[in-house]
Structure 1
């Protein structure tokens, strides 16, 4: 019997890769970013799939690496993430 594959297991690595590509394209590698904002790499690795999707939308408004830190500060531990994410999508 073939095991079913969880969509999260398929989507998360791709979304995380896209996330890191976007960050690298604007702010440099995660190692370079780590020098500017210590601890940022671990915080990024801790994001869930919905948070990464939200990041992709918020990223369009970022002007510098500090915007990424502020976004992480605001959204990383959001208790009502789904509602906030849906509202944000509605604006685009």
Structure 2
């Protein structure tokens, strides 16, 4: 990775985290602690992107549900009967 526009930050780690990083570098899994942190941040960015997509999907489903009409109260036995009937009709 090209070292242009890099910024130095200070972070605090638990002894366990520091030992894990040191072990990963010593065993050749990573070239440096900085590489480990950059990899962790890439994974965090990916997780955040997935989280945002999931939130958008849930918001869309919520909006679709709200716009689908008035809700109704239903007891568990009736709901189960309706779901079973729907499943039978699908084959």
- TM-score between both structures, scaled by the size of structure 1: 0.29
Larger Rg: 2
- Bigger helix fraction: 1
> Which is bigger in relative contact order (C-alpha 8 A, separation at least 6)?
1
TM-score by structure 2 length? Answer: 0.29
